Amino acid sequence: MTACPARSNRVGVPALSISCDMLVFGGTGDLALHKLLPALYHLHREKRLHADVRILALARSQRTRAAYQALAERRCRAQVARADFDDETWQSFAARLDYFAMDAGQSADFGRLAKSLGGDDGRVRVHYLATAPDLFEDIATHLQIAGLAGPKARIVLEKPIGHSLESAQAINAAIGAVFDESRVFRIDHYLGKETVQNLMALRFANGLFEPVWRAGHIDHVQISVCETLGVENRGGYYDHAGAMRDMVQNHLLQLLCLVAMEAPVRFDAEAVRNEKVKILEALKPLSGLDVQDKTVRGQYTAGKIGGQEVPAYYFEKQVDNDSDTETFVAIQAEIDNWRWAGVPFYLRTGKRMARKASEILIQFKPVPHRLFGDGEANRLLIRLQPEERISLQLMAKRPGKGMRLKPVELDLNLADAFNKQRRWDAYERLLLDVIEGDSTLFMRRDEVEAAWEWIDPIIKGWHQHYQSPRPYPAGSNGPEQSQNLLERHERQWAD
């Protein structure tokens, strides 16, 4: 048996992968086939997996190992770049890959699984729950009964963790009764994105920005996650969740934490997550009339995306025809602490928008005296997708006579800057961290619950004041009311 090595305490020095079993519950679902297996294939191809790492997909459908490997190969070929996929590498990867038919809701099936795996010999086992959240509690309990939740077992939970503070607390309590917190990995794939981690490098490895990263110099911050896609095949789930629970409670609040947090005393899991929790606890509560004044709900109607007609949300598959679920949310948030007092943070997410973009805009205040009569305030744009780049807008003189100014960009395209290195997918990085036991980029229990504590009153306020979603045409920038959220303070979205 290979012992689990200590993770290097030198930032940037990778630890060696360890021997483990990766059990993927929901192994025939889209997440497993489109994200997890391609990520594991890349880690295998890059020789980042220990030779003894085994991958076991679990699902209810009856199929042979060969049949599952064929399914996985088809999906991976579709997801992996042609230059990165070759038959020889796939065959060696497939040798790691097995399939086990079981029902995650049946305790007896976990007994069969334990027998198939053999006794708990101290081997690290990672239980990845790529399932519906309502199965989390049962799976954890069944794992414990079957003896599969030993001291070296880990569990990975996909969002959403509950649909409210109360439900999140119930899930966390049930998981915590089986796995101690150090072995629980609540995954948010946004935190695995290269640009998100570059945000921490930008802030804490460069002395340039720290003196101005505060209320005295920053006018406002925008965090936008906009999609051109609709709900696709997720209508049944999405119609009960909506944009607030699906995106704001996790992705956008995590990005807000990374923008606003103080520098941790060291770069490790507890220090980083302590600072993020402080930001969530410092968010000014929104309730009552504040919900009406500082939030906007929207729902897309029929329109055009890329020249093609798309249906309204309420005509999507598995969506109620009279649904009042929001597909768009905009919020004006404030952080009530010394660094950020008085600086608005505008959060926005929506489906069927005019463009696909995930980005963070730091809008600096203008110079105190405009010596040359014109010019714009500096701004820093951190783009997560579709391309990963960081650009700083500065004012420069136009060529010719006089002092006519023009905004110019200092642009860092991460793909160009590291063009000889393949860009890792977020799941590759996060899966490797799980295997190595590094929880820095994962959410802690109190983070999840602090986020819900801020979100719940907003949702409650929408229902108390009958704040129905505002319609917006597919292919637009959202409801007009979301523009007003900024325009009344003489600001505008970065569109």
User: Taking 90 as the threshold, does the pLDDT of residue 198 lie above it?
Assistant: no
pLDDT (tens digit per residue) in 126-183: 999 999 888 999 999 999 999 999 999 999 999 889 999 999 999 999 999 999 999 9
8 Å CB contact between 472 and 478? yes
CB neighbour burial string for 15-36, b if at least 16 within 10 angstroms, e if fewer: bebbbbbbbbbbbbbebbbebb
Please indicate if the annotation marks 401 as binding a ligand.
Answer: no
For residue 419, what pLDDT is reported?
67
> In terms of Cα–Cα distance, which of 363, 362, 333, 337 is closest to 348?
333
Please indicate if the annotation marks 326 as binding a ligand.
Answer: no
For residue 67, what pLDDT is reported?
96
pLDDT band (50, 70, 90) for residue 335: very high
φ and ψ at residue 176, rounded to 5 degrees = -65, -25
Please indicate if the annotation marks 48 as binding a ligand.
Answer: no
> Any bridge partners for residue 301, and if so which?
473
Please indicate if the annotation marks 463 as binding a ligand.
Answer: no
For residue 12, what pLDDT is reported?
43
Please indicate if the annotation marks 220 as binding a ligand.
Answer: no
For residue 166, what pLDDT is reported?
95
- Helices 269-282, 445-464: crossing angle, 10 deg rounding: 20
Active site residue: 44, 163, 220, 251, which one?
Answer: 251
* Cβ contacts of 464 within 8 Å, gap of 6 or more: none
Please indicate if the annotation marks 317 as binding a ligand.
Answer: no
Please indicate if the annotation marks 290 as binding a ligand.
Answer: no
Please indicate if the annotation marks 278 as binding a ligand.
Answer: no
Residue ranges of alpha helices (H) inside 412-467 are 414-417, 426-436, 445-464
Q: Does the annotation mark 251 as catalytic?
A: yes
pLDDT (tens digit per residue) in 117-128: 886 667 899 999
Q: Identify the sign of the CA torsion 385, 12, 432, 244.
A: negative
For residue 298, what pLDDT is reported?
96
Q: Choose the weakest-confidence range: 315-319, 416-420, 470-474.
A: 416-420
Unique residue bearing structure tokens 């500065």: 394
pLDDT (tens digit per residue) in 216-237: 999 999 999 999 999 888 888 8
Distances (CA, A) of 258 to 252, 277, 279, 442: 10, 11, 9, 13
User: Taking 70 as the threshold, does the pLDDT of residue 52 lie above it?
Assistant: yes
